[in-house]
């Protein structure tokens, strides 16, 4: 079964790209390919000119299901990557950990275990653990999918703040259309299975983004446009499964 | 100003000591009831005292077994420590090699599909042979002595450790192994930093089962293959119709087994403090 077909996507340095589509459209598959967890049956992928061959610390992945080691404290989780031999050269562990604890507001929770944190705090810790290894690209697979609406919107602002500071190339997969537009420079809308790029939308809202922008006309127009396509594709996908 | 505080502290103190008393009672009530029922049965005399000795008889014999002070245990007087030490040594020797090899095998099978195909069918077939069925062969190969006992105990300890280690490796959340690889972990780092700690709860479950089986098998081995240890004492006393000594030996095995299990549990809880946050731990 083909999950993805004819994907041709170029992502500029330091851009924030979101990928949105109905569930089952292969958007997570695309991210897994970029991360190097899966291999494509055909085609090629390059990051900074080099072909993707397996996962590596140049591409940091934030997972939907928070990837924190339950036996490590928050600060040990953040330090995890830097303790690996592959990242030993990446600067002082203490300084990086302190900076990220402060940045994520987790200073008071540094010695807590993941099970003692709220969902939002856990995802902030997971983002910190990825930022610690200083990847050039951030790949995020529905990172806020498991959070409640309020925490989710707070986390989106947190992510944007961090991104403005660190200016990494970011690719975020989501089924939340508001989220896709709010975060992105460009939003890639996918078709139903097999996933193709249906449309790439330039989001020319000013940065830094603010929560209130969601009620502005330009935002609403973009959202309605994207919603229209995603709905149409979702229905098409459902019909195909029924047939 | 200080008075109310003091009253509060005093009543709080009383409350806690009352509570700890209630907790001790929860531990004591069932064993105490058993002892009373047993003593009653023996004293009423449905069965002869030599067939079912009373707890008080057993206590006297046990005391002499350990101290050699009263000669109540006759030919066994004062021999307890030697027997207990022999059994304990065999248990821990067998347990050590059994779980070491078991964990190693379980890791190999859990980590590698190739090793699973190579090793797992054999492990699964051998696992279904009761360890007691190995007694004749082990006597032929090792003769009478410590060797067959340590072999049988280790064999029994091997399987729970192996099977639970494999299970522990296979149930590790794939997001964690993906995350580690993404951050650049090599095979060794993946094993040491993710697989081993992730599999540890299950490994410790296996190790605990192994310890339990070790105490079962030490008795089997000592009845059949060695002339020392609590299993030997138990069997010899049975042949000489000393049921009081038999029961004292049985209870000694129970208590030493219990202490061994506590040691494993304490080590486990030390290593797995994090796991208590993630799992159901019973209601008060």
In a domain, B281, yes or no: no
Are the Cβ atoms of A71 and B181 closer than 8 angstroms? no
Q: How many residues does chain B have?
A: 284
Query: Which residues lie below 8 Å from residue B196, measured CB to CB, with a gap of 6+?
Result: none
Q: Given its phi and psi angles, is residue B145 left (phi above 0), alpha (psi -120 to 50 degrees) or beta? A: left
Sheet holding A16-20, edge to edge: A59-62, A137-141, A169-174, A16-20, A186-190, A197-202
Q: What is the pLDDT of residues A106-138, one digit of tens each?
A: 999 999 999 999 999 999 999 999 999 999 999
Phi, psi of B63 (to 5 degrees): -60, -45
Are the Cβ atoms of B186 and A69 closer than 8 angstroms? no
Could you tell me if A65 lies within 8 Å of chain B, comparing CB atoms?
A: yes
Owner of token pair 């490994």: B203
Question: Within this chain, do residues B38 and B160 fall inside the same structural domain, yes or no?
Answer: no
Residues of chain B with a CB closer than 8 angstroms to some CB in chain A: 173, 175-176, 178-186, 189, 193-194, 197-198, 200, 272, 274-275, 277-278
**Confidence at residue A2, expressed as pLDDT on a 0 to 100 scale:** 66
Residues 74-93 of A with CB under 8 A from B: 80-81, 83-87
The rounded distance, in Å, linking the Cα atoms of B204 and B266 is 11
Phi, psi of A77 (to 5 degrees): -65, -45
**Confidence at residue A109, expressed as pLDDT on a 0 to 100 scale:** 96
Question: In terms of Cα–Cα distance, which of A143, A148, A149, A142 is closest to A125?
Answer: A143
Question: Within this chain, do residues B16 and B112 fall inside the same structural domain, yes or no?
Answer: no
Q: Are A122 and A68 in contact (CB under 8 A)?
A: yes
State both tokens at B64: 């002499």
Are the Cβ atoms of B182 and A59 closer than 8 angstroms? yes
In a domain, B22, yes or no: yes
The rounded distance, in Å, linking the Cα atoms of B63 and B58 is 8
Are the Cβ atoms of A57 and B186 closer than 8 angstroms? no
In a domain, B52, yes or no: no
Owner of token pair 């953040």: A78
CA A88 vs CA A59, A197, B185, B277: distances in Å: 17, 39, 11, 31
Question: Within this chain, do residues B42 and B79 fall inside the same structural domain, yes or no?
Answer: no
Q: Are B168 and B199 in contact (CB under 8 A)?
A: yes
**Confidence at residue A75, expressed as pLDDT on a 0 to 100 scale:** 96
In a domain, B65, yes or no: no
Q: Are A161 and A127 in contact (CB under 8 A)?
A: no
Domain count, chain B: 2
Q: Which of A60, A87, A113 sits opposite B274 (nearest CB)?
A: A113
**Confidence at residue B265, expressed as pLDDT on a 0 to 100 scale:** 96
Could you tell me if A57 lies within 8 Å of chain B, comparing CB atoms?
A: yes
Q: Which of A60, A66, A113 sits opposite B182 (nearest CB)?
A: A60
Q: Are A230 and A60 in contact (CB under 8 A)?
A: no
**Confidence at residue A9, expressed as pLDDT on a 0 to 100 scale:** 78
Could you tell me if A119 lies within 8 Å of chain B, comparing CB atoms?
A: no
The rounded distance, in Å, linking the Cα atoms of B261 and B273 is 18
Could you tell me if A55 lies within 8 Å of chain B, comparing CB atoms?
A: yes
- Mutation for A interface: B184, B190, B268, B276, most A CBs within 10 A: B184
State both tokens at A69: 């080691």
Question: Within this chain, do residues B167 and B244 fall inside the same structural domain, yes or no?
Answer: yes
Could you tell me if A133 lies within 8 Å of chain B, comparing CB atoms?
A: yes
**Confidence at residue A178, expressed as pLDDT on a 0 to 100 scale:** 94
**Confidence at residue B114, expressed as pLDDT on a 0 to 100 scale:** 97
Could you tell me if A194 lies within 8 Å of chain B, comparing CB atoms?
A: no
Which sequence spans correspond to the domains of chain A? 1-58+136-243, 66-134
Q: What is the pLDDT of residues A28-49, one digit of tens each?
A: 888 888 899 988 888 888 887 8
Are the Cβ atoms of A87 and B183 closer than 8 angstroms? yes
Are the Cβ atoms of B186 and A70 closer than 8 angstroms? no
CATH of the domain at B138: 1.10.3720.10
The rounded distance, in Å, linking the Cα atoms of B78 and B276 is 44
Cis upstream peptide for B275 (omega within 30°): no
Q: What number is the average pLDDT over the span A195-216? A: 90
The rounded distance, in Å, linking the Cα atoms of B15 and B12 is 5
Q: What is the pLDDT of residues B238-248, one digit of tens each?
A: 999 999 999 99
pTM beyond 0.80: the answer is yes
Residues of chain B with pLDDT under 70: 1-16
Question: Within this chain, do residues B122 and B12 fall inside the same structural domain, yes or no?
Answer: no
**Confidence at residue B279, expressed as pLDDT on a 0 to 100 scale:** 79
In A, minimum Cα distance to B270 occurs at A71
Question: Within this chain, do residues B6 and B113 fall inside the same structural domain, yes or no?
Answer: no
Could you tell me if A39 lies within 8 Å of chain B, comparing CB atoms?
A: no
Question: Within this chain, do residues B96 and B218 fall inside the same structural domain, yes or no?
Answer: yes
Q: What's the alpha-carbon Rg for chain A, to the nearest Å?
A: 18
Q: What is the ipTM of this complex?
A: 0.89
Return mean pLDDT, chain A.
Answer: 89
Question: Within this chain, do residues B14 and B123 fall inside the same structural domain, yes or no?
Answer: no
From A186's Cα to the closest Cα of chain B, the distance in A is 25
In a domain, B68, yes or no: no
Question: In terms of Cα–Cα distance, which of A133, A128, A109 is closest to A55?
Answer: A133
**Confidence at residue A16, expressed as pLDDT on a 0 to 100 scale:** 94
Angle between helices B243-271 and B230-239 (to 10 degrees): 160
Question: Within this chain, do residues B94 and B38 fall inside the same structural domain, yes or no?
Answer: no
Question: Within this chain, do residues B127 and B212 fall inside the same structural domain, yes or no?
Answer: yes
Domain A1-58+136-243 = CATH 3.40.50.1220: no
In a domain, B237, yes or no: yes
Indicate if the pLDDT at residue A238 is higher than 90.
Answer: no
Host domain of residue B38: 2-46
Are the Cβ atoms of B178 and A55 closer than 8 angstroms? yes
Give chain A positions within 8 Å (CB) of B178.
35, 37, 55, 61, 63, 67
In A, minimum Cα distance to B177 occurs at A67
Are the Cβ atoms of B182 and A87 closer than 8 angstroms? no
In a domain, B282, yes or no: no
The rounded distance, in Å, linking the Cα atoms of B259 and B248 is 16
């Amino acid at each position: 079964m083909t999950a993805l077909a004819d994907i041709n996507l170029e992502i500029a340095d330091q851009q924030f790209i979101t990928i949105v589509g109905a569930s089952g459209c292969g958007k997570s598959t695309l991210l897994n390919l970029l991360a190097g967890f899966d291999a494509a049956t055909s085609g090629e992928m390059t990051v900074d000119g080099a072909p993707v061959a397996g996962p590596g610390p140049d591409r940091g992945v934030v997972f939907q299901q928070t990837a924190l080691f339950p036996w490590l404290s928050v600060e040990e989780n953040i330090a995890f990557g830097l303790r690996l031999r592959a990242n030993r050269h990446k600067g002082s562990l203490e300084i990086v950990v302190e900076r990220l604890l402060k940045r994520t507001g987790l200073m008071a929770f540094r010695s807590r275990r993941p099970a003692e944190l709220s969902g939002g705090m856990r995802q902030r810790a997971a983002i910190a653990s990825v930022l610690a290894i200083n990847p050039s690209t951030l790949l995020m697979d529905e990172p806020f999918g498991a959070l409640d609406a309020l925490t989710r919107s707070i986390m989106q602002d947190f992510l944007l703040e961090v991104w403005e500071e660190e200016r990494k190339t970011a690719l975020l997969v989501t089924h939340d259309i508001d989220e896709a537009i709010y975060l992105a420079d460009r939003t890639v809308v996918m078709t139903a299975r097999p996933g193709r790029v249906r449309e790439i939308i330039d989001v020319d809202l000013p940065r830094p983004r603010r929560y209130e922008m969601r009620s502005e006309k330009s935002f609403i127009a973009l959202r309605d446009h994207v919603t229209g396509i995603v709905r149409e594709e979702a229905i098409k996908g459902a019909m195909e499964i029924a047939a | 100003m200080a008075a109310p505080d003091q009253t509060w502290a005093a009543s709080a103190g009383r409350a806690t000591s009352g509570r700890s008393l209630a907790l001790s009672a929860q531990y004591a009530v069932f064993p105490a009831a058993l002892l009373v029922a047993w003593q009653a049965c023996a004293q009423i005399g449905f069965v002869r005292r030599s067939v079912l000795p009373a707890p008080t008889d057993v206590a006297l014999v046990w005391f002499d077994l350990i101290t050699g002070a009263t000669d109540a245990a006759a030919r066994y007087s004062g021999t307890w420590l030697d027997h207990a030490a022999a059994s304990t040594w065999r248990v821990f020797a067998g347990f050590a090699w059994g779980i070491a090899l078991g964990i190693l095998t379980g890791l190999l099978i859990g980590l590698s599909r190739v090793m699973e195909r190579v090793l797992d069918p054999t492990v699964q077939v051998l696992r279904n042979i009761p360890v007691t069925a190995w007694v004749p062969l082990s006597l032929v190969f090792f003769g009478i002595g410590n060797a067959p006992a340590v072999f049988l105990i280790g064999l029994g300890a091997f399987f729970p450790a192996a099977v639970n280690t494999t299970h522990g490796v296979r149930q590790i959340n794939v997001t964690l192994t993906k995350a580690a690889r993404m951050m650049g972990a090599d095979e060794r780092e993946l094993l040491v930093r993710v697989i081993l700690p992730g599999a540890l709860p299950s490994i410790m479950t296996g190790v605990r089962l192994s310890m339990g089986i070790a105490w079962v098998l030490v008795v089997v081995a000592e009845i059949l293959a060695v002339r020392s240890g609590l299993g030997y004492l138990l069997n010899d006393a049975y042949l000489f119709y000393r049921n009081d000594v038999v029961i004292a030996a049985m209870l000694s095995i129970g208590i030493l087994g219990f202490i061994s299990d506590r040691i494993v549990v304490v080590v486990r809880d030390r290593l797995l403090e994090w796991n208590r946050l993630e799992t159901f731990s019973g209601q008060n």
